[in-house]
Amino acid sequence: MIRASCHCGAVVVEADSLPATVTSCNCSICRRIAGLWAYYTRSQARLVAGHDALAAYVWGDGMMERYYCRHCGCTTHWESVEKNADSRFAINVRCLSPEELAPLKVRHFDGADTWQYLD
């Protein structure tokens, strides 16, 4: 199991395991927030603390909600607008400790143009 939190600790998300890879995306929002994403389904990952501390940002096609802490501003995760066990839930692994993050293989995704992995 992994647990990731925002800077102030108000928001905590967890997942059943570390992923084999994480994704660095260069789309207009991910490059600005420096998100590094571990992808799960809602049955594999969840928000465990901080419901009241969260704010959501929805843009573009309106299919996902990006969540950040209202207190410290850290983006912790995003979820599909559709909420079922198989819908997407992504954790910003930059909210993990450096020791947990170090062994993860980073894949690069061109979300700005081709919508393909670059490696």
Q: What are the DSSP calls for 49-107, one per residue? A: E-GGGEEEE--TTS-EEEEEETTT--EEEEEESS-STTSEEEEEGGGS-HHHHTTPEEE
**Tokens, residue 39:** 């992808």
Other Cβ atoms less than 10 A from the Cβ of 93: the count is 22
- pLDDT for res 84: 85
- Set out the domains of the chain in order of their start, with CATH numbers: 2-109 (2.170.150.70)
Residue 93 to residue 112: CA distance in whole angstroms: 21
- pLDDT for res 28: 94
Specify the pTM.
0.94
Tens of pLDDT, residue by residue over 23-72, are 999 999 999 999 999 999 999 999 999 999 999 999 888 899 999 999 99
